[in-house]
Structure 1
Amino acid sequence: MHMLTDISTPADIETLVNHFYGKVLNDSLLADIFKKQIGNNWEVHLKKMVSFWHTLLLNEQHYFGSPFMAHADLPIKEVHFKQWMSLFNTSVDALFEGPKAEEAKDRAAKMAAMFQHKLAYYASHNKKPLL
């Protein structure tokens, strides 16, 4: 049996991001939303996501931006976030184990909850986010 290691290098982050988005692109619920939003800019998107997770998990500043704004106008609901989380957690668990792997899942869950809260707030107040 192959022992899994924890997330510890930029290469680990890249492996996770590529594995996860491979699942997203083949998912019946999420693929069309991502393809419509990202178009042919997958290389740019994947690099941005590697930078984002590198910053969060390896504590080295590589990402600068506002992740929520990219999601503010998407037609996404709770069911989409649940599927995103399922694919993310499955990806982490397939590749890694340890404190950083658990941190990745925890941070993803908190981010999904925050995004859902913000989307609901703006929808119920008929406002557009500024940041």
Structure 2
Amino acid sequence: MKKDIQNRTDIVRLVNAFYEKIKTDNVIGFLFNEVAQINWETHLPKMYDFWENVLFFTGNFDGNPMQKHKELHSKCPLSHAHFEHWNIVFRQTVDELFEGEKAEEIKMRAKNISDVIMYKTIN
């Protein structure tokens, strides 16, 4: 039986596993690697803070995801398919590692955040 997401250590595990997939993903990996040219050493800690805040309301995230996605969209048009694929990989990663109330919550919140960013970015 898998455990539920309980703390920052679990968030770090999830985020690292997710982005290891994304780095080599055939559908959206190029957006991170070539278009955005993500510096993973600085990006990953921001994502730990972001998801920890989303799930546990820590208040430790300082950033503007909407602006970052708009900037990315201006460099390379994002599509509904890009967002949907991101969600599929995220859900799969959560399901591989965790189960429980917080695992379900992070998948729901990720989908909701993605939907808002997608709507405000590409529509």
TM-score where L is the length of structure 1: 0.86
Which letter does structure 1 place at the counterpart of 2:110?
A
Larger radius of gyration: 1
Large movers: runs of 4+ above 2 Å: 36-40
Cα-to-partner distance string for 1:22-69 (whole Å, 9 max, x where unaligned): 111111111111012443611100000000001111221110121111
- Aligned residue-pair number: 119
**Structure 2, unpaired ranges of 5+:** none
Higher helix share: 2
62-71 vs 6-15, which deviates more?
62-71
Q: Does the aligned pair in 2 maintain the 1:48–1:63 contact within 8 Å? A: yes
Deviation at 1:120, TM superposition (A): 3.1
Higher relative contact order (CA 8 A, sep 6+): 2
**Structure 1, unpaired ranges of 5+:** 122-131
Q: Percent identity?
A: 39
Between the aligned partners of 2:40 and 2:6, the Cα distance in structure 1 is 24
Cα RMSD between the aligned structures?
1.2
TM-score where L is the length of structure 2: 0.91
Between the aligned partners of 1:40 and 1:24, the Cα distance in structure 2 is 11
